[in-house]
Amino acid sequence: MLKNKRFPVSVLFLILLLMLTACAPSGLRIVSLSPSQTEIVYNLGLEDKLVGWSRYDCYPPEVQERKGWLPYDEYEFVSNEDELSKDVAVVSNFTSINYELIKLLDPTLILAIEPIQKPFADSLKALGFNVLYYHPVTLQDVWDMINDIGEKAGVGMRAKRLTAKAQKEIAEIRAVTEKLPRIKVYFEINHMGPYVLGSGSPMDQLLEIAGGVNIFNDTKGIAFKAELSDIIERDPDVILTPLWPHAGTYEVTTISEIVTRPGFENISAVKNDRVYHYDSSLLKCPSLRQVTAAKKMAYLLHPYYFKNPDNSVSPWELGKIDATYPPEKSPK
């Protein structure tokens, strides 16, 4: 017969600590005001705690299986009662929120992101809600945000494991690209303007990790209006324009529209047919998918050294990579 064994107090304390950090509180009710934070909720295994989210939520694919979900372009608000009948209620259009519905949902945790949602976060806090607001400007800020959400939601250990893995994969990409020639990239946010990517955001940092350099990295800002003459003068090797699932034709810039802009025929990217669509829903989403975005971008810029990542979101176009682009020099 086995004798009863006594564990040291330190071991028992560690077991208890792991139990406490591995399970979310049973009464947790989460409202996410943005697609990226809904992704994080799913990453952390807290999807069953979601009671409210945004109109634009569509990832991971399991989101689309929830009762009442509709693509953003088909969604119409009917009533609070209608929303409450769904598995998860739509409480946010990202730039506006339904305060009354949020009160009815009675969440214990609300997640907000980016300066445009800061007033909502402040108002909800004033109403007595527990709100976590973030404004990530670097990838480290993204990892810190995920860790903080995990800790506050009771799954801190899981969050740390996930972000540690993400940082390791990012380091592996950088180890290759830091030995390759830099590719000058013009990153368009919106064709109306056009509005372009400046410096000081996770997206700008992703370009650098993937072996590119933002031609407007001397101008701070996630999006600012640029002159066509400035783009021509900076002569990018690659031009990126956004595309995303369910995007309407009026929302998307075609490759043809870009290459026929006045003076663009003199840009290297146009001459060499390196004008591509990028998946806006992937690249602009500060979540764990920033790793997939970095892999995708590295493949786009340096296809001889990277493979297209598994489970990456379509659509993306590589454009023409052929004999006009001789293999780059091997890393030394």
Tens of pLDDT along 240-292? 988 776 766 677 788 888 999 999 999 999 999 899 888 887 888 899 999 98
Q: How far apart are CA 246 and CA 74, in angstroms?
A: 9
DSSP string of 317-328, one letter each residue: -----STTSPPP
Convert 35-52 to b/e letters by CB count within 10 Å (16 or more is b): bbbbbbbbbbbbbebbbb
What mean pLDDT is predicted for residues 67-92?
95
Burial class (CB in 10 A: 0-12, 13-18, 19+), 136: buried
Phi/psi region, residue 45 (left: phi>0; alpha: psi -120 to 50; beta: rest), is left
Domain map of the chain by residue range? Answer: 26-135, 176-301
The angle at the Cα of 271, spanning 270 to 275, to the nearest 5 degrees, equals 30
Q: How far apart are CA 159 and CA 149, in angstroms?
A: 8
| 97 DSSP 8-state letter | B
- Enter the tokens of residue 151: 């800790």
Q: How far apart are CA 202 and CA 286, in angstroms?
A: 7
Question: For 182-238, how does the pLDDT look when each residue is reduced to its tens digit (9 = 90+)?
Answer: 999 999 988 787 889 888 888 889 999 999 999 999 998 778 899 999 999 999 999
In terms of C-beta distances under 8 Å and separation of at least 24 residues, what long-range contacts does 306-312 make, across chains too?
Answer: 306/173, 306/176, 312/279, 312/282
Say if CB 246 and CB 73 are below 8 A apart: yes
Partners of residue 303 on adjacent β-strands: none
Strands 238-243 and 183-190: parallel
pTM: 0.84
- Enter the tokens of residue 224: 């600012």
Report the interhelical angle of 35-43 vs 139-152 (nearest 10°): 60
Asked if the domains at 26-135 and 176-301 fall in one CATH topology, the answer is yes
CATH code that applies to domain 26-135: 3.40.50.1980
Q: How far apart are CA 131 and CA 108, in angstroms?
A: 9
Domain 176-301 homologous superfamily, CATH: Nitrogenase molybdenum iron protein domain (3.40.50.1980)
**pLDDT confidence of residue 222:** 79
